[in-house]
């Protein structure tokens, strides 16, 4: 059921705004805004920041995806509240130590952050939304994400499967 | 006609829309169980394919919806954002993300959801995301070659594969149904029992069939645009179309009739060189778009199609009437007659009847006053604002 709702939401989003859903773009805005505040001089001589700032009239946080992701936080929180799933936990399987889980989450996040820049979007912005508008690039990225994950899954099985169960 | 941004919904209101859409997005993802890394990576180890099924069902639902809306002329597909294709960057980026997925257990959207309900690992994943983007930003000169290589532009899959939209969507749906069935089977093998989340089966079956029928409909019902363009070529002679005489148009121009709206069908170059006041340039194809629809739907305007001859004018009039617009006419004899008889009026012999004398008198006036009008209109004409594709993406 959630699958159809998600599909319809994406369709409505495209019909209203002409663009799809996303997530990693907000991280990009966040990074540019942080660097522009902490080291304004540095942003001037780096092409990546100047290009982004030029596209956003020097207010990197005034970006559609930043607002959308703020909504995602609210929506997920409401959902967790009504379904009684709010709790502060570090989720992992028993055979993995907390330290390992923290490091893998950080590395995984960093890889996703880096990859989403090259892929011009993540699972939502490039793969899902790209598929909806039949973008060739979006579908290539989608296949690479899932294909890559399957190809690498075996090497990291100890992070997710433990002997005698799952 | 969609998209509603930026005309019906302004850019500021769009941010409010973004928050509302985000709330729905976050709520649905969390309800679908995407806020736990154990469930997310399940698909890579065969014990839980929910994520894959939700992902493909959602993608295909939206895709068929987009194709159907475009097909029936409700959404201008030339204005929506189509993620650009940079082959190598897309492939390498995707692989890196895949690696990040099995190591970190989330993707950016789901990590935000999980972090919102208190998962510490997800919060760290989000922090990692910032780090990753920062590495890319600082290493940009190094990544740039890869990032910009093999630029294919905003191509769609049916362009790349050379199939029709409908057939392509149909193939994708068939593939998804196959994957749905296969993953359910794998899940049962790995877990030794049925996935209870796929209940009630009837509901899923019903929705699946609906999608399937919609997909079929888009294949077998010809696209409105293609159909009309083809019909326009043959149907013109039988249709009764109102004709504006050249003298009448000249009179309306001299009169500065505010109701007059000329749509010029010649190519942009010719239009640039010479155009009448109050005219806008559209090709036959562009008549289906949102820009043309804006002009055509203004109430109380009298629209006159002009082209070099009547053939294109009649095609345009046919298409636009079929699209449901009224108050349309074409210019008698096309612009070539208008130029010859009005702008370059050169009387042959003495006018005899009273009507001929009146016409002669009027044309003498027109030939003196119109060129100045055309000149001043050209100077004051604002450059044509064309709606451009929405800029999206991450």
Q: Is there a single domain that holds both residue A18 and residue A81? A: yes
Single pTM value for the model: 0.82
Which residues of chain A make contact with B121, given a CB cutoff of 8 A?
A: 90-92, 101-102, 105
Q: Is there a single domain that holds both residue A159 and residue A110? A: yes
Q: Is there a single domain that holds both residue A57 and residue A133? A: no
Q: Is there a single domain that holds both residue A97 and residue A80? A: no
Q: Identify which of A27, A71, A142 has the shortest CB distance to residue B18.
A: A71
Tell which of A56, A71, A87 closes a domain. A87
Task: Please give the average per-residue pLDDT across A104-133, as a whole number.
Answer: 95
Residue-wise burial string across B245-264, b where 16 or more C-beta atoms lie within 10 A, e elsewhere: ebbebbebbeeeeeebbbbb
Q: Is there a single domain that holds both residue A66 and residue A14? A: yes
Query: Contact B92/A118, CB-based, under 8 Å?
Result: yes
B330 touches chain A (CB under 8 A): no
- Look at residue B197 and tell me whether its pLDDT is greater than 70: no
Supply the pLDDT for residue A166.
Answer: 46
Find the range with the poorest average confidence among A2-11, B186-195, B244-253.
Answer: B186-195
Q: Is there a single domain that holds both residue A82 and residue A123? A: no
B140 touches chain A (CB under 8 A): yes
Where in chain B are the domains? 11-225, 233-380
Counting the structural domains of chain A, the total is: 2
B124 touches chain A (CB under 8 A): yes
Helix, coil or strand: residue A39: coil
Q: Does domain B233-380 have CATH number 3.40.250.10?
A: yes
Supply the pLDDT for residue B196.
Answer: 67
pLDDT, one tens digit per residue, over B240-269 is: 788 899 999 999 988 888 889 999 999 888
Round to whole Å and give the CA distance between B3 and B288: 14
Which residues of chain B make contact with A4, given a CB cutoff of 8 A?
A: 57-58, 61, 207
Q: Is there a single domain that holds both residue A63 and residue A101? A: no
Tell which of A87, A111, A134 closes a domain. A87
Q: Strand B151-153 and strand B85-86: pairing?
A: antiparallel
Q: Is there a single domain that holds both residue A54 and residue A107? A: no
Tell which of A87, A112, A130 closes a domain. A87
Q: Is there a single domain that holds both residue A1 and residue A50? A: yes
Which residues of chain A make contact with B154, given a CB cutoff of 8 A?
A: 135
Shortest Cα distance from B178 to chain A (angstroms)? 16
Confidence of residue B381 (pLDDT cuts 50, 70, 90): low
What is the 3-state secondary structure of B370-389? HHHHHHHHHHHCCCCCCCCC
Is the separation of the CB atoms in B342 and B333 below 8 Å? Answer: no
Supply the pLDDT for residue A71.
Answer: 97
Q: Is there a single domain that holds both residue A99 and residue A164? A: yes
Which residues of chain A make contact with B393, given a CB cutoff of 8 A?
A: 19, 22, 25, 120-121, 125-126
ipTM attached to this prediction: 0.96
Q: Is there a single domain that holds both residue A29 and residue A104? A: no
Task: Please give the average per-residue pLDDT across B371-392, as a whole number.
Answer: 75
Which domain, by its residues, includes A160? Answer: 92-166
Supply the pLDDT for residue B199.
Answer: 58
Q: Is there a single domain that holds both residue A8 and residue A80? A: yes
Q: Where are the beta strands (DSSP E) in chain B?
A: 85-86, 151-153, 243-244, 260-264, 279-281, 302-306, 328-331
């Amino acid at each position: 059921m959630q699958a159809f709702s998600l599909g319809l939401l994406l369709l409505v989003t495209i019909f209203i705004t002409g663009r799809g859903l996303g997530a990693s773009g907000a991280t990009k805005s966040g990074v540019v805004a942080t660097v522009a505040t902490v080291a304004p001089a540095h942003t001037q001589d780096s092409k990546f920041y100047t290009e982004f700032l030029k596209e956003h009239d020097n207010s990197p946080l005034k970006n559609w995806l930043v607002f959308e992701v703020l909504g995602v936080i609210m929506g997920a929180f409401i959902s967790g509240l009504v379904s009684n799933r709010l709790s502060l936990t570090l989720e992992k399987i028993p055979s993995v130590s907390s330290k390992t889980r923290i490091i893998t989450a950080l590395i995984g996040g960093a890889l996703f952050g880096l990859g989403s820049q090259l892929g011009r979007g993540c699972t939502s912005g490039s793969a899902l939304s790209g598929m909806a508008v039949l973008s060739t690039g979006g579908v290539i990225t989608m296949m690479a994400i899932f294909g890559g994950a399957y190809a690498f899954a075996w090497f990291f099985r100890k992070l997710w499967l433990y002997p005698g169960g799952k | 006609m969609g998209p509603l941004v930026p005309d019906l919904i302004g850019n500021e209101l769009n941010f409010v829309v973004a928050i509302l859409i985000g709330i729905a997005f976050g709520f649905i993802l969390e309800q679908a169980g995407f806020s736990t890394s154990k469930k997310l990576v399940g698909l890579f180890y065969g014990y839980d394919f929910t994520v894959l099924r939700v992902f493909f069902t959602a993608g295909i639902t939206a895709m068929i919806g987009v194709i159907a809306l475009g097909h029936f002329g409700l959404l201008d597909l030339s204005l929506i954002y189509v993620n650009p294709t940079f082959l190598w960057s897309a492939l390498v980026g995707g692989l890196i993300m895949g690696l990040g997925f099995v190591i970190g257990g989330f993707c950016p959207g789901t990590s935000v959801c999980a972090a919102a309900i208190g998962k510490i690992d997800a919060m760290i994943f989000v922090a990692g995301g910032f780090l990753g983007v920062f590495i890319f930003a600082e290493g940009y000169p190094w990544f740039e070659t890869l990032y910009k290589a093999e630029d294919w532009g905003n191509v769609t899959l049916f362009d790349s594969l050379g199939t029709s939209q409908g057939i392509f969507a149909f193939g994708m749906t068939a593939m998804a149904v196959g994957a749905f069935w296969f993953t359910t089977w794998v899940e049962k093998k790995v877990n030794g029992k049925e996935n209870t989340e796929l209940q009630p089966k009837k509901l899923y079956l019903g929705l699946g069939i609906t999608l399937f029928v919609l997909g079929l409909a888009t294949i077998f019902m010809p696209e409105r645009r293609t159909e009309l363009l083809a019909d326009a070529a043959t149907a013109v002679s039988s249709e009764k179309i109102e004709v504006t005489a050249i003298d009448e148009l000249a009179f309306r121009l001299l009169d500065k009739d505010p109701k007059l709206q000329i749509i010029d069908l010649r190519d942009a170059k010719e239009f640039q060189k010479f155009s009448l006041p109050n005219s806008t340039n559209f090709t036959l194809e562009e008549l289906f778009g949102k820009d043309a629809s804006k002009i055509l739907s203004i109430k109380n305007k009298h629209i006159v199609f002009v082209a070099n001859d009547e053939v294109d004018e009649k095609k345009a009039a046919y298409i636009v009437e079929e699209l449901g617009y009224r108050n349309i006419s074409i210019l008698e004899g096309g612009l070539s007659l208008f130029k010859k008889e009005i702008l370059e009026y050169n009387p042959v012999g003495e006018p005899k009847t009273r009507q001929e004398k009146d016409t002669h008198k009027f044309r003498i006036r027109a030939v003196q006053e119109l060129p100045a009008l055309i000149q001043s209109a050209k100077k004051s004409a604002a450059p044509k604002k064309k709606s451009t594709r929405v800029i999206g993406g991450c």
